[in-house]
Amino acid sequence: MNLEENSYQQDSKQWQDKCNRLLYYHVVLTLKDGNTVDGIIGRVDDDQVIVLVGENVIEDESRFGRPLGGGGGRFRRFGPRGFPFASIAALSLLAYPFFFPPYPYYYPYYPY
């Protein structure tokens, strides 16, 4: 085993460990070609990570036979995509703004 293969295996093992720690988290992958991908880590294999990547879908109202208002419905679905460890340059958690609550605050019920 030469030095280059040993270095590749160490890098692959480090990416595998990091991806296992962030399993089921919403992350941002930066690839070596400069592209960025955000998604949820769904599975970690020996040589790649499977990420559930979101895509926007616009459904035509004629498909359902009823008007959806505005000409169609917009949905977001997630599909699996594999990324080899050799193509990953950086991996980080997706930052959510914590100063805004995820839902409106409702006051407790006032007894009359």
Per the structure block, which two tokens stand in for 46? Answer: 């020996």
* Model pLDDT, residue 85: 94
Examine the pLDDT at 63 and tell me if it is beyond 70: no
Assign 73 a pLDDT band (cuts: 50, 70, 90). Answer: confident
* Model pLDDT, residue 4: 62
The owner of tokens 């879908």 is 57
Q: Per-residue pLDDT tens for 25-47?
A: 999 999 999 999 999 999 999 99
Per CATH, the number for 3-93 is: 2.30.30.100
Mean of pLDDT over the chain: 80
* Model pLDDT, residue 74: 79
Per DSSP, helices labelled H in the chain are: 3-21, 61-64
